[in-house]
Amino acid sequence: QKEVEQNSGPLSVPEGAIASLNCTYSDRGSQSFFWYRQYSGKSPELIMSIYSNGDKEDGRFTAQLNKASQYVSLLIRDSQPSDSATYLCAVNSGGSNYKLTFGKGTLLTVNP
Amino acid sequence: DTAVSQTPKYLVTQMGNDKSIKCEQNLGHDTMYWYKQDSKKFLKIMFSYNNKELIINETVPNRFSPKSPDKAHLNLHINSLELGDSAVYFCASSHSAAVSGYTFGSGTRLTVV
């Protein structure tokens, strides 16, 4: 079983819609969860982090964590064409303070 | 000031050559990393140094050798380059990865021909 799984997409949504990105992880010892955004040809950029069950909101972004289901998601409200990118889920497998394990990413396209 | 800087940005070289990639961070972080991102965007950890000490060494061919002269620098030397080494190599740094995640450099696109 892969450690961090994401649907590769592409996920296509119209401008103004809500984009929902999902991630599951296999290691129950994981404690920290991150979402990175990577534009084509650029480096990953941290956009959200979440550590406790529930929702965490930051502007148009909401991260949701359910440790019992080993599931983390990212919602992007009022999606804009500038949100078009690959979104990477990362997890500190085994509760490591150093190592983050990444999913393969979901390509999101927001259509004007 | 760039927080995590890598050089070179692009590297095109022939099979069998030896090359190095350099990374420097000015964030005061104590841990640095090398990740490899393949053509399918999969980011895989290669090495990590904490205060100049190697703490993560994943299953990587021994043609790859990291070196950390101090906690602000982490270099990657690759011997006898192969076609399969073609990828984007990202350097990253962190203070406490579990708390604040990583800051990535801009990447080095290595093409072996």
Tokens 């760039």 correspond to: B2
Confidence grade of residue A2 (pLDDT, cut at 50, 70, 90): low
The side-by-side arrangement of strands in the sheet containing A19-25 is A4-6, A19-25, A71-76, A61-66, A54-58
Name the DSSP class of A17.
S
Q: What is the pLDDT of residues A10-22, one digit of tens each?
A: 999 999 999 999 9
Tokens 């010892």 correspond to: A29
Nearest to A100 among B41, B102, B107 (CB): B102
> Helix-strand-coil percent breakdown of chain A, rounded to 5?
5, 50, 45
Note which residues in 22-81 of chain B have CB less than 8 A from chain A.
31, 40-45, 48, 50, 55-56
Q: What is the pLDDT of residues B18-66, one digit of tens each?
A: 999 999 999 999 999 999 999 888 999 999 999 889 999 998 899 999 9
- Cβ–Cβ contact A106 with B under 8 A: no
Q: What is the pLDDT of residues A52-65, one digit of tens each?
A: 999 999 999 999 99
Name the DSSP class of A96.
-
Alpha-carbon distance of A71 to B14, in angstroms, equals: 43
Inspect the interface and report whether the beta carbons of B48 and A102 lie closer than 8 Å.
Answer: no
Q: How many CA atoms within 13 Å lie on the side-chain side of B83?
A: 1
Q: What is the pLDDT of residue A1?
A: 57
List of chain A residues whose C-beta atoms are within 8 Å of the C-beta of residue B56? 98-99
Which residue, A79, A104, A82, A80, is CA-closest to A91? A104
